[in-house]
Structure 1
Amino acid sequence: MAGRYGVSARSATRHSSRRRSRVRRRSRIHGVRVTVLSCSLAVTTGLFALAGTATGPDVPASAGALPPLSERDGDDASRGTTDRGLGPKAARPAMVKVIVEPPADPNAKPVASAPLPAGSGSGHRVVFDITQQQVWLVDADDTVVRTYLVSGSRYDQLPTGTFEVFSKSRDAVSWHGTETMEYMVRFFRGQNSNIGFHDLPVDTATGTEVQTLSQLGTPLSDGCIRQDLEDAVALWEHTEVGTPVVVLRT
């Protein structure tokens, strides 16, 4: 049988013992070379596999090559690999901390925190910001004497600009006749009725206010600006016919 490099075992017997020893020595040398060559191929194949050139489904992996990353065990999720071809790891359920908020006190009035908007005029005036649903009562020296949240129109039909108070009524009735209100201060002539500031309306059928104090800051009216009773009184006393009312959006 021929050897790997063409050296026949039969031909070796025809030579002298010295020749045979040379053949064996040469064979051992060739064996060392083969071993080194095989190791080099294995290492080279492994390096190509690690570099992203590992064999795919159509190209069989070389003997001794490292398995592709997708077939290795481990928990290094940063590599984005899968475990032995079984698909992506199942996501661990997130720990969710549930905080149960106590029910809001309907009689608790929210606190207004926004500062007086820039460009809101000067001097003695009333400023209403539709965006913030907030009112500022401003003195002649531009000092804010009071600020609070209100409930304006849910239909958002009030334009921006500077208007003037044109009438005041201690008691008033809504345009549809089902609600009463106090401390009405009118400054804009609307399509269906005049628009102004007043306290929280009372339903004439039930005798109760149509909204709670905790809802102030949310547009809920048909057109006017609803206020807490104390704030309605303060605005009533702060204004007279001709007082400027500045309406803006921030």
Structure 2
Amino acid sequence: MAGRYGVSSGSATRHSSRRRSRVRRRSRFHGVRVTVLSCSLAVTAGVFALAGTATGPDVPASAGVLPPLSERDGDDASRGTDRVPGTKTAGPVMVKVVVEPPVEAPVDPNVKPVADAALPAGSGTGHRVVFDITQQQVWLVDADDAVVRTYFVSGSRYDQLPTGTFDVFSKSRDTVSWHGTETMEYMVRFFRGENSNIGFHDLPVSTATGAEVQTLSQLGLPLSDGCIRQDLEDAVALWEHTEVGTPVVVVRT
């Protein structure tokens, strides 16, 4: 039977059925929402659990959690109140001792060193000249075997002079080196070398500069090309002490 608006009761029943169906569908959707939300909460809780501080039977839940900055002490908020600057216990003091090298007086190039070694044993007898290659020292000995003068010299840096006893065979008041670049005075020759004769003379003077080729303070060092260099005063003394035929004894001590 049609209703007031031409709608039968069957139609109303069908409308009510549809409404209940929509309600049921809505209820199902609500169920899905709740289920999804529950899953999201579970996943989120799991992530926080992984990222958080580990806890367990031996680890308190508050382990590793710093207090707020407002509750920390000092300028360095990472330090606790137990660490107070200046309260460390001093250990043994390690003192570095710096040893300064001894201050040596500067060497005056115009002062020759003093030779004080004794006349070598077994260096001959009588009036003679003794030259020790090792010590770079000369002794002028008189006929009574007394040393009348001793001093340092500069012999050959090439060590080409043999030991033994030789005789003075020539003397020259002035001479020139075998290579022509130096001049010498008071030459006393006693050994015939491979390139030139070897003898005693004063400190050579360079023909290029007009200066002596070494200083007095360097006497005692082998610096020559073959001859034996002496201070001028010593060269004059040996010149006067010798004559052609005077023995020259060369030794190594």
Q: Tell me which interval the TM-score lies in, with the shorter structure as reference length.
A: 0.5 to 0.7
Give the 5 Å matches for 1:198-237.
Answer: 198-237=201-240
- In structure 1, what is the Cα distance between the partners aligned to 2:131 and 2:124? 12
Amino acid corresponding to residue 146 of structure 2 in structure 1: T
- In structure 2, what is the Cα distance between the partners aligned to 1:98 and 1:247? 39
SS in 2 for 1:109: coil
- In structure 2, what is the Cα distance between the partners aligned to 1:145 and 1:102? 31
Give ranges in structure 1 of 5+ residues lacking alignment: 1-90
Give the 5 Å matches for 1:18-29.
Answer: none
- In structure 2, what is the Cα distance between the partners aligned to 1:119 and 1:93? 54
Q: Which residue of 2 aligns with 1:140?
A: 143
Superposed displacement of residue 93, structure 1: 4.1
Q: Which residue of 1 aligns with 2:163?
A: 160
- In structure 2, what is the Cα distance between the partners aligned to 1:242 and 1:181? 22
- The runs of at least 4 aligned residues of structure 1 exceeding 3 Å deviation read 91-95
**Residue 249 in 1 paired to residue 249 in 2?**
no
Q: Which residue of 1 aligns with 2:177?
A: 174
Q: 1:208 and 1:140, CA in 2 relative to 1: closer, same or farther beyond 3 A?
A: same
Look at both structures and tell me which one has the larger radius of gyration over its CA atoms: 2
Q: TM-score, normalised by structure 1?
A: 0.63
Q: TM-score, normalised by structure 2?
A: 0.62
- Give % identity: 86
Q: 1:98 and 1:120, CA in 2 relative to 1: closer, same or farther beyond 3 A?
A: same
- In structure 2, what is the Cα distance between the partners aligned to 1:92 and 1:243? 66
- In structure 1, what is the Cα distance between the partners aligned to 2:95 and 2:250? 52
- In structure 1, what is the Cα distance between the partners aligned to 2:213 and 2:229? 10
SS in 2 for 1:233: helix
Matched length: 162
Which residue of the other structure, out of 86, 101, 110, is the alignment partner of 1:98? 101
